[in-house]
Amino acid sequence: MPSAASTRAGKLPLVVWVLAAGTFLMGTTEFVIAGLLPEIAGDLGVSVSHAGLLITAFAIGMIVGGPVMALATLRLPRRLTLVAALAVFALGHVAAALSSSFTVVLAARVVTALATGAFWAVGFVIVTAVAGPARGTRAVGVMMGGLTLANVVGVPIGSFVGQYTGWRGPFWALAVLAGLAAVFVGRFIPRTEQRAGISVRAEVRALRQGRLWLALAAAVLIMGGVLATYTYITPLLTDRAGIPAGAVPLVLIVFGLGALGGTAIGGRLGDRRPMATTLTAAAVTALALLLLIPLSTGPVTAVALIFLMALAGFTVNPVVTSLAVRFAGDAPTLTSALTTSAYNTGIAAGSALAGTAMNTSLGLTGPALVGTVSATLTLLPLIALTLTGTQQKARIVAQHTAPAPVHDDTTAPLPTRH
């Protein structure tokens, strides 16, 4: 547990950074596969489109597996759950790297996604608790920053290494790094007793909170808006903005830097002004996406708006994640898993709708229009949260801590209904 002095000084506990490192590895494995699909398809004797099932399988594993694994490991000590998740994560990559069967690799991806869901669900609860009520959102932002950094650093490096070592090289590297991460987690995560007092019924009962579902809806919509556009950003850049194909990776790095900055901003501002931060960020995201439709014909304006879209869009994430965990009170683990599922649901739904829109008369501007609508709709659950208030008399079960209620900037929060 962090000392009072360190909390007052504004320093986050070391465990937050350790868990962010684990999130970096898991974010890398989720997205690096896209850059390795041709090599995997050729090596395993399947088509590239068939190899794309490896991405779909991971997403489904995260959406469904996160809540399932959260409940399955509910009574286990949190440190044991994290170490086990990293161990399974490592073994899944070893199994994939050793196999010449597409079916085995596909199954390994599903198992890896289950481990990732369990890690994130428990990790979000731990960082929120150890950081305390004044810096819980900042701690969530740091942990989510590991995922964002994976897109900026981990995915490009993994794809680059895969071009020279084959697709199995990054898988071996991720397996080794996950093993090392398990050692660090076992060393630095505080030991806790077995959570015999926590029940599945309590976790499910926490889902009755209407404000929780508003936070989850905001998570789905904001990610659906940003990723709907990002998924098809390459043809927009090359065919509409006139950017050379060789420069597209640089633009993707710009997007990643914007996302990293947004995550940091949300973590910093979300503890003091959660609703003002999210409402402003969602509105700016919608505006950036709307302007991208007419202004994406110029390379400079297109890149600038893509950066702004990422910066504003990812500002919302740590705030709504932290609020969702706190709304759950004594039963935050399932809620944390559902937050991860919400983001992946938004990514899957937004990408599907964007692909459909691009095949209509809207053409390359279709994804941006879908993104604009989704980001605008994000304002609805956020406004509802503002009107009902975010204060919650709840404590988060981790290390026997009892954080004070989250401070919000609503003018007249309604009393909590039990």
| pLDDT score at 49 | 67
DSSP run (H or E) holding 272: none
Q: What does the domain layout of the chain look like in residue ranges?
A: 1-196, 207-418
Instruction: Give the model confidence (pLDDT) of 303-351 as tens digits.
Output: 999 999 999 999 998 888 888 877 776 667 777 778 878 888 888 788 7
| pLDDT score at 8 | 45
Residue 79 tokens, joined: 């440190």
CATH number of 1-196: 1.20.1250.20
- Other CB atoms closer than 10 Å to residue 102's CB: what's the count? 18
The two domains 1-196 and 207-418 share their CATH topology (first three levels equal): yes
- Other CB atoms closer than 10 Å to residue 92's CB: what's the count? 26
| pLDDT score at 331 | 62
| pLDDT score at 305 | 95
Distance CA 184, CA 178 (A): 10
Distance CA 56, CA 59 (A): 5
Best CATH choice for the domain 207-418 from the list 3.30.1860.10, 3.30.470.10, 3.40.50.720, 1.20.1250.20: 1.20.1250.20
Distance CA 308, CA 281 (A): 10
Whether 254 contacts 265, CB under 8 Å: no
Give SS3 for 361. coil
Whether 386 contacts 380, CB under 8 Å: no
- Rg over alpha carbons for the chain, rounded to the nearest Å, is 21
pTM: 0.71
- Other CB atoms closer than 10 Å to residue 164's CB: what's the count? 7
